[in-house]
Amino acid sequence: MNRPFLSKEGKKKTAVSRPNKDQRELKAKSYKEKSDKQWLFDSLTRALKEVKLMEEGKLPEPDINDLFKD
């Protein structure tokens, strides 16, 4: 694992460490970001497949007026 270092010119490097609680929170945040990215990727993939099916005529194209209905 790479650790960041703090140092002053001509002084010894000092490792920076985080408490375990912070590390768990950072890992959880990282996991959430990865799952959000995966969700976005899956959503875009599904949308592009739907567009392809619409172009082939296998799926009806949505009516633009349906977007503005209450």
pLDDT for 29 equals 84
Q: Which domain holds residue 41?
A: 2-67
At residue 53, the pLDDT reads 96
Structural domain count, the chain: 1
Cα distances (Å, whole numbers) of residue 5 to 15, 18, 44, 66: 5, 12, 40, 57
Q: What confidence score (pLDDT) does residue 47 get? A: 93
Q: Chunk the chain into consecutive blocks of 10 residues (it has 70) and report each block's average pLDDT, rounded to whole numbers.
A: 61 67 81 86 94 94 82
- pLDDT for residue 43: 93
Per the CB < 8 A criterion, the answer to whether 46 and 53 are in contact is no
